[in-house]
Amino acid sequence: MDNSLHEQYEYARQRLKQKKRLYYHFVFFVLGSIFSLVVNKLLNVYPETHWFLWVITIWSFLFILHFIRVFITDSFMNKNWERTQIDKLIAKQERKIEQLQKDLDQNNN
**What are 94-105's pLDDT values in tens digits?**
999 999 999 888
pLDDT at res. 78 = 76
Q: Which residue has the higher pLDDT, 78 or 85?
A: 85
Cα separation, 57 vs 89, whole angstroms: 41
pLDDT at res. 67 = 96
- Rounded to the nearest angstrom, the gap between the alpha carbon of residue 60 and the centroid of all alpha carbons in its chain is 17
* 38 and 51 belong to one structural domain: yes
**86 with 79: CB under 8 angstroms?**
no
Cα separation, 53 vs 29, whole angstroms: 13
* 85 and 66 belong to one structural domain: no
* Domain count across the chain: 2
Domain that holds residue 83: 78-109
Worst-scoring range by mean pLDDT, 10-14, 67-71, 75-79, 104-108?
Answer: 75-79
Instruction: Report in angstroms the alpha-carbon separations of 22 from 15, 17, 62, 81.
Output: 11, 9, 11, 23
pTM passes above 0.85? no
* 71 and 22 belong to one structural domain: yes
